[in-house]
Structures are given as C-alpha cells and as structure tokens.
Amino acid sequence: MHSIFHRGLAFIAIAGLSSITSQPAPAARPTNVVFILTDNQGAWTLGCYGNPDIRTPHIDQLATQGIRFTRALSSNPVCSPTRATFLSGLIPSQHGVHCFLDPKYMIGPEAYNTLDEFDTLGEILKKAGYRCGLSGKWHLGANMTPSEGFDDLWVTKPDGSTKEFTDQLIIENGEVHEVAEYTTSYFTRRGVEFIEKNKDQPFFLFLAYNGPYALGPLLLHESPNRHAEYYADKDLLCFPRDRMHPWQFNNLDYHNNPVSMRRVAAEVSGVDDGVGEIMQTLDRLHLTENTLVIYTSDQGWMGGQNGIWGMGDHTRPFGAHDLMMQIPLIFSQPGSISPDQTCDALVSNYDFLPSVLGYLGLAKDMPTSPPSPGRDFSPALHGQPLSWTADNAVFYEFENTRCMRGEKWKIVERHPSGPHELYDMEADPQERFNLFGQPGYEEAQAAAQKRLHAFFDRYADPKYDVWKGGGSKATLLSSREPRKK
C-alpha cells in the first residue's frame, strides 16, 4: 500500500509536470521606448559626430552602445512640421503643418490639435498596451489638453519658442504655472518620475527637450547651467568664423559671436546631462536591456558654416543646406542592438514611424491612409542591409522651397520663380558651387527635377499642397511681411 501510494504520487507529479511544460511560455514583455527629441540641433554639435569641443559623454556613450545614423535628414527646417512628421510618418504636404504654429493655435479659443485626423505613434503604442507620457515641448496645437495617446503624463510648454531656461511657464494638469528650475532638468526629472511609476509595465516616454534651442536673444547671455563656467574661456573652433552669407536674414547678432557659441555649447551639454540621468535611471531599475532609447532632433542647425546661423527659415530665400537638415539619429538597446554600429544610408524623419513600429514588431499597425513615403530602416538596427539604398534619396520642403537630396545630385526649387540650386554632392559636399542652369549639367538637372516632382506628385495631398493652391494649418512665413529680427 505504501509503495502503491508513492507510485501514485509519482504519476501525479509526472502528469502535473507534463501539464506544466506543455503550456505555452508567457509572452515576453514589449520593449519600452524612450524617444528623446531635442530642439534645433545639428548632428555636428555632438562628440559622436566628430565635434572636438562640446562635451557630450552620455550621448556619445549611447551611440557607442548602439547604432548611429551618419546621414539622417529632416524633411523640414522648423519645429512644428518636423514633430508632426516624426509622429505621423507624413510630410508637411500630407499632414498640413507647413510652418511653426502661432501661439493662438496652442492656447485660447482657436487652439486645436493639428494631428487629430491622423493615427500617430503615441496612439498606436497606447492601443498596443503602452503607458504613454510627454515631458517637454509639444508645439502641435491644443497644448492645454493631453492628446495623441499621451494620457499618462502631459507636461509641456504653453508656447513653441524658448525665451530662457529658468523661470519659465509650464502646463501641468490643465494649468499653467511658472517653474524656476532649469527647464532641461525639469523635463528630465518629470521623465524619470514617469519611468519609475511605470517600471512594471510597457511604457513610451516622449522626452521632448526644448534645448539646446540655439536661437533668440538668450544667445547674448551666459547659460544658467553648470557648464557655463567650463565654456567661458573656450575658443570653440568647431564654430566656423566665416563671412556672413548674403542670404542671412535673421540671427545677425550671433554670427562669429563667442558669447553665442558658448551659450549653444553649454545648452548642448545641458541636454547631455539629462540623457545621462535617463540612462542611469534605466540602469538603476534594471530596464536598460528592455528599453529602446532613441536620440534625435527635430531639425538641423547651422552655427556659422557657409556664413549661415540657424535653419532654413532664417535665410531669404529660404534655405535647404544639408546642415539645416542633418540631425543626430541614435538607437540603443543593449542585448538587442549590437554596439558600435553606424549606418550611412540617407534616411529621413518620415522614415522614423515605420522603422520604430517595424523594430517593435508592430509593422501591421503602420497607418496606410494617407500613404507614408517612409521606409522601414529597422533591419539596419540588427546589422542587416537595406534593400532600397542603391538609388536612394530623401526629400525636403518648406513652404515655397522643395529639395531632393540624392547620393550624387541635390536639387532645390523655389516656387514659382526661383532661385533654384543644383549641387554635385560628391564633388562639392559643402554646397559652394551652384550648377543650376550651367552648361554641361542639363541632363543631371532634368533628371533631378523629374525625381523631385514625381515624389510630390505622388505623396502631396491637394488639400495641403501649397505649390498647387493648397492650404496650411500654420500661417505661412512666406506670406508674412518680411521683418528682420
């Protein structure tokens, strides 16, 4: 009886074990996402992109432990349109935000959400079970009200521009109040709190810094952050001392100005401090290997190269120089993305949404209407080749200015009467010699123009195609009375 009892227990145990082992393994927790988006930052301001003067150790470390895209370009030179593109995968001629939004669209009776008609990254991840939070600059309308899936944290600015980095107004819980804290530190702190609160469930943090900014009268003053003292006596030769370009329209006081250069450097390093805090938080909570961290900027920025300071909206005619478009783009997830990778493919911020969704295994959730021009570059994050790089090009638009940037040829057209530009980017990467209309380049010019027009003919929505009478959700800068600032 005794032996029979034990045999019975053994049978039960084995049967129970068989039952347990036959059950499917629990699904792996979805990858967290921390999307760090800075304001007006050229890739060249970072150490990992070759800058020898500006200290960015934490961003450099992020690049070292993941993949850095060396030729990522924005599709527009100002804040609101590029942010709309990152979140929607659409170009301005599709989402309708052609310029930075007026304050009246952010707070007040005319305020509205410019992305309301589209499915965007926050909404997609929210539906996939993520807790979604925004800490930082929004600048896409209806700033007082959480939207686009960011219901779990909504801490933002009531405006788009940055006057200073201390004693600034912040929106929180539907109210506006002043925060004395250094703004970059404040947005970082709120991001850290969001990660801590949601550490046990999938989360998406959109950490949208309003730094380094690099514009406005604040550039005539020393930074309030801890780096100002370090840069106070630095020459910062990474900022070229070039004669002012004849097209420069705004920002005249900052050219070749050491105070402005040092202020920019200090604000870049201030952002780097924030990135370091986010990385340390993930390490402390043992979330590093389950979190995709992305670092990029809304658009590029020039600090004296070719005699230009600022972005494409700061010249007349509007500019389309590569450095007005080139942004840092870094992806890191140790254990999933191999370290020390670079990708030299030309990619755009309209490629961002399909690539993030592809990486997260959510490609099926990519919106199909309107059809995004974006391409999924997520295979590159795993060290795999991209099938579309052989004859690659990216496209750019700012109101009356459109551009096609290919591997060799770059064409810039301004509607309706120019001036136009054509550059051989292999022979002239600094865009010094305009070949448009020059003898001997007729075939290359015609091919580049055809490619430019075909892209916008395919993707531009007639409702928002300003070249063909369409409108804009933002007041067009080209329609305003010219005024030097």
Distance, in Å, from the CA atom of 477 to the CA atom of 485, rounded to the nearest integer, reads 14
Per-residue pLDDT 10s for the chain (485 aa) are 333 333 333 333 334 444 444 455 556 889 999 999 999 999 999 999 999 999 999 999 999 999 999 999 999 999 999 999 999 999 999 999 999 999 999 999 999 999 999 999 999 999 999 999 999 999 999 999 999 999 999 999 999 999 999 999 999 999 999 999 999 999 999 999 999 999 999 999 999 999 999 999 999 999 999 999 999 999 999 999 999 999 999 999 999 999 999 999 999 999 999 999 999 999 999 999 999 999 999 999 999 999 999 999 999 999 999 999 999 999 999 999 999 999 999 999 999 999 999 999 999 999 999 999 999 999 999 999 999 988 899 999 999 999 999 999 999 999 999 999 999 999 999 999 999 999 999 999 999 999 999 999 999 999 999 999 999 999 999 987 443 33
Query: Using N-to-C axis directions, what is the helix angle for 258-284 and 57-64, rounded to 10°?
Result: 50
| CATH of span 32-381 | 3.40.720.10
* φ, ψ of residue 132 in degrees (nearest 5): -120, 130
Is-contact 96 397, C-beta < 8 A? no
Instruction: Dig out the tokens for 156 from the structure.
Output: 């933002």
Tokens 């700033």 belong to which residue? Answer: 143
Q: Measured between alpha carbons, how far is 24 from 26 in angstroms, rounded to an integer?
A: 6
Upper half-sphere CA count for residue 338 (Cβ side, 13 Å): 10
Measured CA to CA, the distance from residue 422 to residue 405 in angstroms comes to 10
What single DSSP character describes residue 32?
E
Task: Give the chain's end-to-end CA distance (angstroms, integer).
Answer: 98
φ and ψ at 62, to 5 degrees? -60, -45
Q: Residue 372 has what pLDDT? A: 98
The phi-psi region of residue 19 (left if phi > 0; otherwise alpha if psi is between -120 and 50; otherwise beta) is alpha
Q: Which of 383, 434, 398, 380 is nearest to 324 (CA)?
A: 398
Q: What pLDDT is attached to residue 23? A: 56
What DSSP assignment string belongs to 357-425?
HHHTT-GGGS--SSPP-----HHHHTTPPPTT-TT-EEEEEETTEEEEEESSEEEEEETTT---EEEET
Q: CB within 8 A of 1, min separation 6: which ones?
A: none
Please name every residue paired with 424 in a beta bridge, in sequence order, or none if there are none. Answer: 409
- For residue 323, give the nearest of 203, 392, 423 by alpha carbon: 423
Task: Judge whether 32-381 and 393-479 match in fold.
Answer: no
Q: What is the reported pLDDT for 25?
A: 55
Class of domain 393-479: alpha beta
**DSSP secondary structure of 267-328:** HHHHHHHHHHHHHHHHHHTT-GGGEEEEEEESS--EESGGG-EE-GGGBSSPP--HHHHEE-
Q: What is the pLDDT of residue 141?
A: 98
Structure-block tokens of residue 8: 């019975």
pLDDT of the residue at 479: 85
Helices (H), 52-109: 57-64, 79-88, 92-95
Domain ranges within the chain, ordered by starting residue: 32-381, 393-479
